[in-house]
Copies of this chain bind each other. A is one copy, B any other.
Amino acid sequence: MTHPEGAGRLRKAPENFLDRAGIQRHLADAKAGRRDFIRSAFAAAAAATTATTAAAQAPGSRADGDPAILQLPEHSRGLGKPVVTDGYGLPSKFERNVQRRQSPGLTQTRQASVSFAPLQSLFGIVTPSGLHFERHHQGWWDIDPSQHRLMVNGLVKTPKVFTMDELMRLPSVSRFHFIECGANTGMEWGNVAVPTCQYTHGMLSCSEFTGVPLLTLLEMAGADLKKGKFLLAEGADGSSMTRTIPMALVTSGEVLVAYGQNGEMLRPENGYPLRLVVPGVQGVSWIKYLRRIEVGDQPFGTKDEVLHYVDLMPDGTHRQYTSLQECKSVVTTPSGGQQLLDKGFYSISGLAWSGRGKVQRVDVSVDGGRNWRTARLQGPVMSKCLTRFNLDWIWDGKPAVIQSRAVDETGYVQPSYRQLRAVRGTRSIYHNNAIQSWLVKESGEVANVQLS
């Protein structure tokens, strides 16, 4: 490992300092292609907050005369707050800007919209449930679990209806999986559109899910697993979200009817009290507020899979049922909107994942893809789960283009934009898994760029 004596300072992205109006101006500037949008955002941030929190602190030892050392703070002298001040605790007030956020202007109504997880502020692989990305089609609800039912019907011997109590008494499993919206990075198909990784890649989260294998419920209902090659999954919210799930995914035991997320019950925004977990498949198939599973012998051709969530190909046709999330990765530090304040050591860190299994390797380039070094993968590397990678880097102060390229256990290699567009064109919304490029300018500012 490089000895990080000369570790460089990093200024966080504007999301950490700006209020909602500031973020909106910042994103509008970025969208309009104003070249100084990062600088102006920081100017606004500096005006809106104190210098100590907005700017990175000066480096090095300050053993001589630093009042933070010499003067005992109140918390070293006084009596703090008692236990159970909060029966359910919250983050520090100093972290209040670490929030999931909308991308202003992306959608017309906030009930059929998206909020993005602040990937640039997260560590490891677990997404705190309070920061889990949101995608609602008709708004979210806090449903009374005692009134919620799950029906299993169709090609079954005995249609069944389960209460939550009944489901939660069945043998359960707990597994770590990522969930990614099929539209993640969807704004970037044509060109650079958003400035930070919160918006380029933030429709991505990872949790420990607990639930009952759907296969158990199908067996209890006597489902015809031979004729029944497809399932319909239906949600209870007003959007009547319905998706076809291939039976092959279910018979593997991987698909869960889940009630638990990161140790506790699902959050209302994520489908409380019950959602489908379909590892490796795009988020829209992880039906929230799950109320019905129907076994059928062909795809159901629902509105949410034949009209929406389809891929517009270069020849003008739409590709349907492309649900799997291919291997992908993103560097979260350094990333767009941040600024390197010094030459010297930086720890490059990011996330990799694949809908086909485990991540096998992540390579990182700092020269736009000419040379690659293999990053350290943080264990445990789990199937269809986020994997954190890290790599040491010495920045020499010259422009650099940072990229990560993931390879999964099937040997699939994450494509460049050139490779992806050669097949998919530029007018899709869904399933953009291209290599992300972050340009570090001589000023240290980091910008979202695409290499031609």
Contact = CB atoms under 8 A, between A and B. Distances in A.
A365 interface: no
Interface stretch (A4-12, A317-325, A398-406, A432-440): A4-12
A436 B75 CA distance: 39
Contacts of A69: 149, 151, 161
A83 B142 CA distance: 13
Interface centre among A146, A264, A347 (most CB of B within 10 A): A264
A445 interface: no
A70 to B, nearest CB: 10
A135 B80 CA distance: 12
A273 B92 CA distance: 9
A236 B76 contact: yes
A3 B219 contact: yes
Interface stretch (A50-58, A294-302, A303-311, A419-427): A50-58
B263 A138 contact: no
The number of times this chain is found in the oligomer is 2
A363 interface: no
Given A57-B146, A82-B113, A264-B98, A141 B91 contact: no
Contacts of A209: 124
A347 B171 contact: yes
Contacts of A282: none
A148 interface: yes
A269 interface: yes
Interface stretch (A125-133, A244-252, A408-416): A125-133
Nearest to A107: B83
Given A169-B345, A346-B169, A93 B142 contact: yes
Contacts of A63: 151, 159, 161
A272 interface: yes
A169 to B, nearest CB: 4
A392 to B, nearest CB: 6
Interface stretch (A24-32, A35-43, A114-122): A114-122
Interface string A45-78: 0000000110011010111001011000101111
Interface in A210-268: 210, 216, 219-220, 236-238, 240, 259-260, 262-265, 267-268
A109 B76 CA distance: 18
Nearest to A159: B63
B140 A170 contact: no
A124 B263 contact: yes
A360 interface: no
B84 A134 contact: yes
B81 A130 contact: no
A122 B263 contact: yes
Contacts of A78: 139, 238
11 contacts: A1-B171, A3-B220, A9-B169, A10-B165, A73-B143, A80-B136, A80-B140, A83-B134, A91-B264, A121-B264, A170-B347
Interface of A: 1-5, 7-10, 52-53, 56-57, 59, 61-63, 66, 68-69, 73, 75-95, 98-102, 109-111, 113-115, 121-132, 134-136, 138-149, 151, 158-161, 163, 165-166, 169-174, 176, 208-210, 216, 219-220, 236-238, 240, 259-260, 262-265, 267-269, 272-273, 289, 345-347, 349, 378, 380, 382, 388, 390, 392
Given A91-B264, A172-B390, 19 more contacts: A10-B169, A61-B160, A75-B236, A75-B237, A79-B238, A80-B138, A80-B139, A80-B238, A81-B141, A83-B113, A83-B140, A84-B99, A84-B102, A92-B273, A122-B264, A123-B210, A123-B264, A131-B264, A174-B378
